[in-house]
Amino acid sequence: MPVDPEYIEQLVLEEIAGTISPEDSITLKDLVENNPDAYAIWLRMHRRLTGDHIQSMREDLPDTLPLSQIIRVARERKRRKILARTSLSVAAVLLLTASVCYKLLFPAFKPVSPGTGPSFALKSVMLQLPDGRSFQLGSGQQQFKAVGNIFRSTSGKLSWSGGGTESQLATIIVPPGKDYIVQLPDGTEVMLNAASRLEFPLAFAHHRNIRISGEAYLRVAKEGNRPFRVQLPNSVVEVLGTSFNVNTYEGTQERVLLETGSVKLLTADGNILLDPGQAVSYQPGKAPEAFSGDTAMALAWKRGYYSFQGTSVRDVSKVMERNYSIRVILDDVAAGEQLYSSRLEKGEELEKFLIRLKSIVKIDYQFEKGDSVLHLSYRP
């Protein structure tokens, strides 16, 4: 069903500002859960208007903007409703609107890794095509024709034929609790983990460039005359033919683990070449350094489970959020500092996992808002 983008943007803006009414909240939840286009708008706006990156952007903005400019933008975007209903201070409203104006004027702001989706996040993998159309991809067999190509989705894997150009960019969005494989035009396979995103051209010509946020395992087809480049939020991985894992779930830190072949990580703080079995963790402002990586543990997600060895419950909770599409709140510092050694099966029921977690570490748990928010607390 078609949606009015401006109406969705207004609802999402009110949700972020904390001024959305219960009725509109229910409407937004239904739209995001059942309409891929609405979910795409929700995801884009949450990426741009929430998190640490938006705070740093706000610090660079003037304290206020001319009132006439604010009202004009609000009228053009049909968002005047938020100005009348918001419970925030006037300064906060102006600041939020200024952020929106800034993003409209400067759309090239550096992308960030997707955060954990909400409880009403999209249930299926979504394909966004260059012509603006979106398709939900299931685990069965699908075939459809669009933008001059025939797309086939079979057993959780997408491929296509028919041509295209490097300028035709498509996007795959994988929701929490899912994973998906994309076979690119050169034969390269990209396996995306939960809550991840892949941007790619429908055809490769002189270059083989893609963009990934989240986590993915790549098996790159070797072509000596066309290097393969993976753009991450803060760095670029350059390869010829190899298999490796990238992880950008932590917005300020990116990890690359090489399984076979050779890759080079290119950053603003220096470049580094990896050998098989090596990994690198990069944070902007610090020179990247290679270390010996645990390949089996890092790639366990490809085999259907997550492996933990002396892992803090704080880090385990982040995996739980991506696997179960819930929000996890640590009620005290001690709960997050508990160390957990076991595994989490991707298809395992949440309650079953929590019982095992509780038996191993000193925590209690309780749910809020049905089953969408989980509280973990320390148990002396």
Residues 207-230: pLDDT tens digits? 899 999 999 999 999 887 888 999
- Both 261 and 139 in one domain: the answer is yes
Crossing angle for the helix pair 313-324 and 350-360, to the nearest 10 degrees: 170
- Both 255 and 290 in one domain: the answer is yes
Has residue 114 been placed in a domain? no
Has residue 84 been placed in a domain? yes
What is the tally of structural domains in the chain? 3
- Both 231 and 341 in one domain: the answer is no
Provide mean pLDDT across the span 187-195: 96
Query: Residue 341 is part of a domain; what is its CATH number?
Result: 3.55.50.30
- Both 293 and 332 in one domain: the answer is no
- CA–CA separation, 73 vs 96, rounded Å? 12
Has residue 308 been placed in a domain? yes
Q: In terms of residue numbers, what domain contains 231?
A: 125-298
- Bridge partners of residue 180, in order along the sequence: 192
- Strand 196-201 to 169-174 pairing: antiparallel
Buried-exposed string 89-104: b where 16+ CB fall within 10 A, e elsewhere: eeeebbbbbbbbbbbe
Q: By 3-state DSSP, what share of the chain in percent is helix, strand and coil, each rounded to 5?
A: 30, 35, 35
Considering just the CA atoms, what is the radius of gyration of the chain in Å? 22
The residue assigned the tokens 């708008």 is 41
- Both 373 and 238 in one domain: the answer is no
Specify whether the CB–CB gap between 227 and 242 falls below 8 A: no
- Both 164 and 94 in one domain: the answer is no
* pLDDT tens, residue by residue, 257-307: 999 999 999 999 999 999 999 999 999 999 999 999 999 999 999 999 999
- Both 201 and 218 in one domain: the answer is yes
Specify whether the CB–CB gap between 339 and 315 falls below 8 A: no
CA neighbours closer than 13 Å in the CB half-sphere of residue 251: 14
Has residue 218 been placed in a domain? yes
Residue 109 above 90 pLDDT? no
Has residue 118 been placed in a domain? no
| pLDDT at residue 73 in the model | 43
Nearest residue to 380 via CA among 365, 367, 362: 362
More confident residue, 105 or 240: 240
Element (H, E) at 240: none
Has residue 189 been placed in a domain? yes
The DSSP code sequence of 166-228 is TT-EEEEEEPTT--EEEE-TTS-EEEE-SSEEEEEESS-SS-EEEEEESEEEEEPPP-TTS-E
- Average pLDDT of the chain is 80
- Both 285 and 334 in one domain: the answer is no
| pLDDT at residue 49 in the model | 63
Has residue 110 been placed in a domain? no
- Both 216 and 360 in one domain: the answer is no
- Both 272 and 251 in one domain: the answer is yes
CA geometry: angle at 267 spanning 258 and 292, to 5°?
30
Read off the DSSP letter of residue 260. Answer: E
- CA–CA separation, 28 vs 37, rounded Å? 12
Query: Residue 170 is part of a domain; what is its CATH number?
Result: 2.60.120.1440
- Both 13 and 62 in one domain: the answer is yes
* pLDDT tens, residue by residue, 10-35: 888 877 766 777 667 777 877 877 77
- Both 90 and 223 in one domain: the answer is no
Nearest residue to 34 via CA among 116, 158, 124, 117: 124
